[in-house]
Each structure stands twice: as C-alpha cells, then as structure tokens.
Structure 1
Amino acid sequence: MTIITLPPSCTELLLNHLGGRWTAGTGDATPLFDPVLGTELVRVDATGLDLSGGFEHTRRVGGTALRALTYRARAGLLGAIGKVLQANRDAYYEIATANSGTVKNDSAVDIDGAIYTLGTYARLGDALGDRLTLLDGDATPLAKGGAFGSQHVQVPVQGLALFINAFNFPAWGLWEKAAPALLSGVPVVVKPGTSTAWLTQRMVRDVVEAGILPPGALNIVCGSSAGLLDALRPFDVLSFTGSADTAALLRRHPAVAERSVRVNIEADSVNSAVLMPGAVPGSAAFDLLVKEVAREMTVKSGQKCTAIRRIFVPEALYDAAAEAIGARLAKTTVGNPRNEAVRMGSLVSRAQLRSVQDGLATLQQHAQTLFDGRGAALIDADPAIAACIAPVLLGTRDADGTDIVHTTEVFGPVATLLPYRDAAHARALVARGEGSLVCSLYGEDGADSAHALADTALDLAASHGRVHVITPEVATLQSGHGNVMPQSLHGGPGRAGGGEELGGLRALNFYHRRAAVQGSAAVLGGVQASA
C-alpha cells in the first residue's frame, strides 16, 4: 500500500465546494483528530458560506446540465467516478486509518463498498438506455376507443439533493446516495459527519478536479449544518442518516413541514439475530449465528447502523450461546489499526467512546455482563488517549420484562443475548424493536426448515427493511447481516426512520417526480416515444 504524507497539525483547512468554487470558512475551524494517537489532522469550517446562492447555482447550473444527459450518459459518469476513486484508493485507506481508526478490512467495507455501489449503478443506468424520461406503467384509456387516455411518467426532480450524513461511513455514505441521485439527473450537496469529514472531502475533491461531472453537480459543505435546511426549496430533496432525535428536528423544519421538501430518514435501529427453534450447540446453524454475531459486533468497532444489537436464542441454548459468542469475541485484538496484530481499531472519537461507555453502563443496570473484553490490554495504544473499547456481550433471561434492551442502541461493540420460548415468542420479541433496518435468521437446510424460515421472514418483513436468512447451503455465499448491497433495499419502518434507499433502480424513485400526462393517443404516443 502506498503511504501518503499526512498534514502536520493545524496546517490544512479543508475547503468547501459550492457555487462552482472552493471556499474556506471564515469562522473558528473545528479540528479533526486521529482517534488512536490523539493528534490533530485537519480542520473544517463552513462559516460564512453563501448557501442560498450556492444552492441556486447547484440547481440552475448543475441540475440543468445533468438533466440534458441521457440515463446512459449519466451512467458513464458514474463509471468514470469509480475509476477516479479506484486510482486514489490507497490514499483513502490512509485517511480512514488516521481519521476513523479503522483496520484495513473495516476500511474496505466503506471505501470498496462505495466503489462497488458506483459500479452497480453505472451498469443499471446503462441498461436504461438513451432516454430522458421513465415511463411508469402502460397508458390507460379514459374514453371509449382509446382516443383520450393517461400515461404516468417519472421525471427528474428540478432541484438538488442535500445529504446530511453520519460519521461512520464517510465514503459509502456519500456514494450510496449520490450514485442514484446523479444517475437520476439530480445535483448533490453533501454535508458529511464532521468528525470523519476528511475522507468525504478528499473524494469530492478528486472527482471535481478530474472534471468528470458538469459544474455544480457535486458539492460539499464541511463543518456545521447551520442554515442548510433554510436554503432548501420546494423541489429539493433531503436525505439524512443519524439519530432519531435529529431526524425529528428535521421533520419539523419549515423546509419539510411547510415547503414539502421530500425527506428520507435512516435513524436508530436495534437490529436482531434469531437462531431458529430446533438448533443445538455445535450445529451448523448455531455456529453460523455465533460467527455472524461476533463479526457484526466488531466490524468497524460496532459503529454500523445495521450491526446486530439483540441476539435471540431458544431458552435451552442461552448458556451455550453465551459461552460460544464470548469465546469468539475473546480472540478479538483491539488497538492501533496500524499494528498487524490488531483486528479491531477504535471508535471515531473520544466523544463517541464516552457515549458508548454511558450507553453500556445504562444497559448493565438491566442486564448481566456475559463477556467483557475490556480487561485485556490495548495493542500499541494508550487507553488514556485512544478511543478504543473492546467488545462486551450482555444478557438477560427476562426478555419480556427488560424493555430497555429492545429500545436502546449503543453504537459500538455491544450486544445483548435474550432467550425465547417458541417461534411466536421470538417474533414478538423482535418486533419490540419498533422497526429495524435488518434482522437475520439462522436455520438448517431442508424443506421443513426452509418453510419455517420463509414464514418467519415474511412475518418480520412488516417491521424491517431487510430480512437476511442464513442456512448452511449459503454460508459461504451470503453477503453478511450488516453489509448493505446496492441491489437490495436499505432502510426500515418505525424508529429506523421509515426511509428507503438503494434496492437497485428503486432508489431512483426518490429523485424523480411521478406525474400523469392526459391527452390524445397522438400526444401519449409522443410521450412514450421520448422515454
């Protein structure tokens, strides 16, 4: 891997890109730190930006240019972006290590996942061909003989897409939203999570400087989000990833409540893993659950919105599951991601470490600590400086009476083991999460097991965006409980935000307006010919 030179302390202020130019903020910049070494890396600031003027430039210049291109041409732009990111991949890995504290495999989930998503949408968009409009179904006659009828169409929104993103996926978080937006012909403004904004800014800088996209099509604001929603107009769209509390504030903002800006929310989620009835210790399904739980607790130090937070097993297997999961977690080495002996790096900041410690302490008042890796020494890291925390497995035998474990998400390497009596009880307990991004089911091969898994999956689909079913026959093929694939839906009902992202071409729906064109057969024929 190529080693890049990281900037010395306080020497680089990351620029914002808005209104067709790179602009420095005029206020007191916020420093970003290495969460393991504690050293300052870069600074960000968005004070003094002309948001209203910059947003108007984005709509007028960037949007007009993108909408003039066909879907196939815009797909070509996505492919070109992917090549730029691939060419700079080593630099992105170095930034991720320094600013997010992630080991190489965890950085890959973010960086390579972003490149893969861009490639997927480039292929999907190319298949749409040289058209400017999408038809939504067939024409419907509204008069006898078909002389007058209706044709539904989907056209790109004539506004911008504002992304307010979380800190945990600075690469993928941008491109999983930007890929379908740009393919739809909608220009983008991204406001990354401040603590890890460096990687997002570097990617945007590389793409802008490569001259791939039309001017105004890709913009970034680093630092505070103050004023961003005030600058939104009725035909803009807003996509937010973060806490439920912040999501509630966004929904009450006049841009959404009064100007009807379309909004997509991905918020807190207390995701589940369920070992189906009939499993025994050492069986294939049992071992698959144990492996997946340990992986989901430790990948990106548990800082994934899709990570497993609750683990449901039959009552008779509670002790065996606790022992097996704990034994696997005990193999996790924690510390400086630059050390090859380390398998799990740090949280993104000391502030996030305090948040995880506080949440863990709250859960420990209601659950037993079944495994605590915090007794082991950190590798090549100072615990007084580094934002590192080892995985902790909690558990309670009173799954019905301990409500807090069903409603509290600790955004770190923490999960809770819970027993259930029968299949109906398991489903009821999972549903107490009040809507989640994903639930994974673990069962054996065979027709009877497949039938039970299918029934359970369909039942849980009402309260989840995705149900991930793992059996031995797909053990080496499955994409992972927490991995978000661009071909499948990402989002969830209820407390998960009620939003939808990705899902292949379904993602384009958010960036299009559906309308009905009514007219003569000749007019409708013209509409169909242009699509």
Structure 2
Amino acid sequence: MTELLTNYAAGRWQAGTGNGTPLFDPVLGHALVRVDSTGLDLAEAFSFARQQGGAALRALTYRERAALLAAIVKVLLANRDAYYEIATANAGTVKNDSGVDIDGAIFTLGQYAKWGDALGDVRALRDGDAARLGKDPAFQSQHLSVPTQGVALCINAFNFPSWGLWEKAAPALLSGVPVIAKPATATAWLTQRMVKDVVDAGVLPAGALSVIAGSSAGLMDQLQPFDVVSFTGSAETAGIIRSHPAVAQRSVRANIEADSLNSALLLPGEAPGSEAFDLLVREVVREMTVKSGQKCTAIRRILVPAAVYDAAAEAIGAKLAGISVGNPRNDSVRMGALVSRAQLASVREGLATLQAHAQVLYDGRDRPLVDADPAVAACIGPVLLGARDADAAQAVHDVEVFGPVATLLPYRDSAHAIALAHRGQGSLVTSLYGSDETALAQTALAVAASHGRVHVVTPDVAQAHSGHGNVMPMSQHGGPGRAGGGAELGGLRALAFYHQRTAVQASPGVLAALGL
C-alpha cells in the first residue's frame, strides 16, 4: 500500500484514522501516496493555531515576520528539485509549467519578505494622517490597522498546489495571522511536502502554519468571528462557503476567487501579420497550453475584428499544431496532462456543451500522445472553437471549460467588443492587443469595471510584459461578479484582509505614543 501522508495540526504531525484517498499519476495512472484527515481533533487544531501560533506571530514586528518569510524561501530553494519531481508525478506538468507553480511561489514569498522588511519594527500600521474631530486640535482621530486575532483558513484549488499555498500564506504570516492550509485533495502531495520541509526546518513558531491534507469536512465549522477564510475554486463551492453559518452568521471574513471566462481582445485596425496580431496569437496559444489550460486566468474567449476572424483561426490553429502532448518526462512534450481522469471527463463534457453552439476550428484531440496511453493518461490535445455569431452563442459566455480550450469570437466595432468582454459577467483578467495607445487606454477604462486586471500588450512591451495569465504579486488578483468578488496580492494591499482597521480617538500626545 502507498505511503499515507500526515497532517500537521496542533503543533504535531498526525495521521488520519481512515484508509485514505489515493493520489494518482495522471499520465501513468498508478497510485502515488494517500491522504486522510479522519479523526483529527479540528477544534484543537484551530485553537492551537489561534492561541499559540497567533500570539507568537503578533509578538513579532513586521520586519521580524518578513525575516520568517525569507527563511521559508531558503528552505524551499534547498528542496526545489524534489518539488519538481512531485509536480511531474502528481500533476503531470512539464518542467516549465511546474516552474510557474513552484518558482512563482518562491518569487511571491521573496517579494513579501522584501516589502515586509520595509514596514519596519512596528506591530501596527498607520492608515492615513490624524484628523481633527472639531475646531480644537486637542482631540483627533487616527486610523490604524492591527492583525486580526484569529486564524486564516486557506482552501486552495488543484491547479496550483505550491503557488496557491504561498500567495495566501505570505501576506497572512507577514500580517501576524496563523495559517491552516487545505489543499485540493488531488494534488495535495506538493503542498504537504512544502509545509513539512518548512516545519522540519523550524523556521516558524509552533502553530503558525498547519496543513490538513485530507477531507475539508468540518473545517468551516471551526471558524470563529475573528477568523478569515480565503478560497479558490468553483463557484458552486464558493456559494456553500458564503452561506455557511461561520460567514453568514458569525461574520467570518471571506475572500473568494471562483470561475472566470477571461478574454483576449485585438483592437480594430490590426491586420493579420501586424505585430499586435502576432502577439495575440502567441499569447492565446501559450494560455491555452500552459498547465494544459488549467489556470483560472487562462484565455477562454478571443475577441477579434470580424474581418480577421478567418486569419486568426488559421494562425492560432497553425501554432497549436506544433504543440506535442503526452508524458512530461519526455523532453519533446510541450503540454502534459490534466490533473486526473475525472478532470478529463469534465473537459470533454464541457467541450460537448460548447460544440452545440460553436464549430471546431482546430482539433488536437485526434493527434497521438507522446509516451502515453490514451486509455490511461488524462491527456487531451488543445481545441480551438469558433462562433461567427458571438451574440447568439450564449454558452461560450457562460461555460468555462477548465482545460486547453478557447473560443474565437468576431466583433463588429469597439463598442461590440467591449460589450462581449463584459459578457463574461466578471473576470479575473482581460488582455488587450494593439498599437494605438489612446485607443488601448480608452478600452482599458471601458472594460475595467468587470475585470480585476487589464493586461495591455503593445509591440514595445513584446519582450517585457509578464503574460496574460501570470499572476504577479505586485498586481491585484481577483475579480468582480462570477470571478468571486475577491482580491488577493496587489503588493501590501493584500495585508488589509488579515487586519482590523480601527479609529483611535484621543489627544495628539496619546496618538503619538502609539508609535506608528
């Protein structure tokens, strides 16, 4: 029987009492390890994190907590090779795709370590200047932010077991809030291993970081008023979290990142073969194939002027034809597997739904896999769909296929393109491609209300831009509407979720004594 991974809770490693759920290699099909949290005393785990981990973290200054993040970075770098091996085995990702997850996480931690160090040796943050409460300056109001005296429950999706953990844990720990991580079961191995390495290195106070690698059952029940929950996953699960008594009745703060039908928009006047046209094509292909399209920020809808629809279909299809799919251990493979056979079934079901409203422009499903058995491997080639009537094809604006699938849609004019972008009902990101800076700026403002991030690509940033789907810690990650209404990262803005803003009303002398 495969190894049973343990959970780290209440300051000790604990094995579940059940048989465990096996995690599989999505390419070769065999079981790797098992996870289980049956029988854990969750009340003890949360209490220990709040009382022991929280108190120890809050006793430190921001600069001292930043040093903890820097120490975590060193631990992860020392074990980086092992993480790549786990990602290949459990997530089926090629090396570059594993790097997006693993190295992206390490980079994010490093940034928060740097930003936290600059906050200095204080334990609370000033929020603006003091304001008079009357004509007499003897009594004033100073807003400040202090760490919430609770725990951060971080529930993550299967596609980023490394980055998903650390992009939440970094600002939480820097804020002085202990973290209980619940990774998605299918890829929990990498998360558990990273936490284990950090715990074994002894760089964090006891209770500052915990991991529950098994079922999420009962976790939400443990949340108390000063706790927070940060969730990445499906809109269906997000609805369950929002309606849970912890959130609905006990006012636990919740941050949600859910489904997103992101778009890429080529501005009018860009002819086939222009630099902007080629940049769009390149980015679409990258976003369709990186991590096999299993990214919440991936391009799902491609909006182009009607006059270039056919040329765009041909150009994107030609590049997709060069993508080899199969076993990531083979150096010739450009795109690995979906995370599981269940996810493969979900992608096929979603494709069937979209094909009732769109035609197939490029079909990579018929191409042979490299070093992989199609009866076993959770692999599927990229599929480009198209709908000449973008308004009538309602399903492409409603259904997200979480895999290497995107739909090409023509628009009549700028107003129509903007309207189609908004049809996503709230998205994490849209990217704009063109050369007219004024038109790009106007379009960016026009689509901003329904997007958490607008990524503008012009020929002069062809080599410098960070990528449509790459979430950088300096920029906000989140979006309104169906994208969940949440916000993560964005530099030190991320700390606000883990702090309580308070107005202290007092004399200037008392306010000065706060030491902010």
Amino acid at match of 1:64: A
Q: 2:78 and 2:140 mapped to 1: Cα distance?
A: 51
Q: Distance in 2 between matches of 1:331 and 1:301?
A: 14
Structure 1 counterpart of 2:477, from 479, 483, 490: 490
**Secondary structure of 2:487's partner?**
strand
> Is 1:130 the counterpart of 2:121 in the alignment?
yes
Q: Which residue of 2 aligns with 1:14?
A: 5
Instruction: Quote how far apart the aligned CAs of 1:404 are.
Output: 0.8
SS of 1:121 mapped into structure 2: helix
TM superposition shift of 1:144: 2.5
| 1:510 matches 2:513 | no
Q: How does 1:191-340 map to 2 (within 5 A)?
A: 191-340=182-331
Give the secondary structure class of the aligned counterpart of 1:524: helix
Residue number in structure 1 paired with 2:16: 25
1:422 to 413, 432, 439: 413
Identify the residue that residue 363 of structure 2 maps to in structure 1. Answer: 372
The match for 1:7 is: none
CA distance in 2, matches of 1:73, 1:290: 46
Letter in 2 for 1:490: H
Q: How many Å separate the matches in 2 of 1:57 and 1:503?
A: 30
Following superposition, the deviation at residue 16 of structure 1 comes to: 0.3
How far off is 1:201 after superposition?
Answer: 0.1
State whether structure 2 residue 464 is matched by structure 1 residue 477: yes
**Secondary structure, aligned partner of 1:508:** helix
The alignment partner of 1:347 has SS state of coil
For 1:495, give the aligned amino acid.
R
Query: Is 2:2–2:31's contact at 8 Å kept on the other side of the alignment?
Result: no
CA distance in 2, matches of 1:191, 1:455: 41
1:6 corresponds to which residue? none
Distance in 2 separating the partners of 1:285 and 1:144 = 58
Q: List per-residue Cα deviations over 1:161-189 (Å, max 9, x = no partner).
A: 00110000000000000000000000000
Specify the alignment match of 2:63 in structure 1: 72
Using the alignment, how far apart are the partners of 1:33 and 1:502 within structure 2? 31
Instruction: Describe the superposition over 1:68-99 as per-residue Cα deviations: whole angstroms up to 9, x where unpaired.
Output: 00000000110110010001000000000000
Q: Give 1:28 shift.
A: 2.6
What amino acid sits opposite 2:109 in the alignment? L
Q: Which amino acid aligns with 2:25?
A: D
1:500 paired to 2:487: yes
How far does the alpha carbon of each residue in 1:169-221 deviate from its partner, in whole angstroms, 9 at most, with x for none? 00000000000000000000000010000000000000000000000000000
Q: Select which of 65, 85, 91 maps to 2:82.
A: 91
Residue 395 of structure 2 is matched in structure 1 by: 404
Counterpart secondary structure, 1:43:
strand
- The answer for unaligned runs of 5 or more in structure 1 is 1-9
1:147 aligns with 2:134: no
5+ residue gaps, structure 2:
none
Amino acid at match of 2:465: Q
Structure 1 outlier segments of 4+, above 4 Å: none
Please name the residue that 1:394 is paired with: 385
- Determine if the alignment matches structure 1 residue 168 to structure 2 residue 159: yes
Alpha-carbon shift at residue 149 of structure 1 (Å): 1.1
| CA distance in 1: counterparts of 2:494 and 2:445, whole angstroms | 22
Aligned to 1:456: 443
Give distance in 2, aligned partners of 1:430 and 1:151.
42
Matched residue SS, 2:27: coil
Q: Distance in 1 between matches of 2:440 and 2:315?
A: 23
Displacement of 1:526 in angstroms is 1.2
Letter in 2 for 1:138: D
2-structure distance, mates of 1:155, 1:435: 31
1:341 and 2:340 aligned: no
1:525 is displaced (CA, Å) by 1.5
Distance 1:14 1:443 in 2: 50
3-state SS, counterpart of residue 375 of structure 1: coil
How far apart, CA to CA, are the structure 1 residues paired with 2:157 and 2:268?
Answer: 37
CA–CA separation in structure 2 for the residues paired with 1:84 and 1:425: 50
Query: Normalising by the residue count of structure 1, what TM-score does the alignment of the two structures yield?
Result: 0.97
Distance in 2 (CA, whole Å) between partners of 1:97 and 1:476 is 28
Show the counterpart of 2:102: 111
- Rounded to whole Å, the distance in 1 between the matches of 2:242 and 2:421 is 27
| Pairwise CA distance, 1:223 | 1.4
Task: For residue 523 of structure 1, report the CA deviation from its aligned partner.
Answer: 1.3
Aligned to 1:159: 150
| Partner Cα distance (1:305, 1:474) in 2 | 24
> RMSD of the TM alignment (CA)?
0.5
Q: Which amino acid aligns with 2:311?
A: A
CA distance in 1, matches of 2:387, 2:45: 53
Alpha carbons 2:5, 2:15 under 8 Å: kept = yes
* Deviation for aligned residue 1:145: 2.5
Distance across 2 between alignment mates of 1:172 and 1:242: 14
- CA displacement at 1:459 relative to structure 2: 1.2
- Quick check: 516-525 or 501-510, which moved more? 516-525
Deviations 1:385-425 (A, max 9, x none): 00000000000101011111011100000000000000000
Contact 2:24 2:31 in 1 (8 A): yes
Is the aligned partner of 1:189 residue 2:180?
A: yes
Greater displacement, 181-190 / 145-154: 145-154
| Count of aligned pairs | 516
CA distance in 2, matches of 1:179, 1:302: 26
Structure 2 residue identity aligned to 1:467? V
- Counterpart AA for 1:524: L
The residue that corresponds to 1:520 in the other structure is: 507
| Inter-partner Cα distance in structure 2 for 1:461 and 1:169 | 26
Distance (whole Å) between structure 2 residues aligned to residue 247 and residue 450 of structure 1 = 38
CA distance in 2, matches of 1:145, 1:374: 75
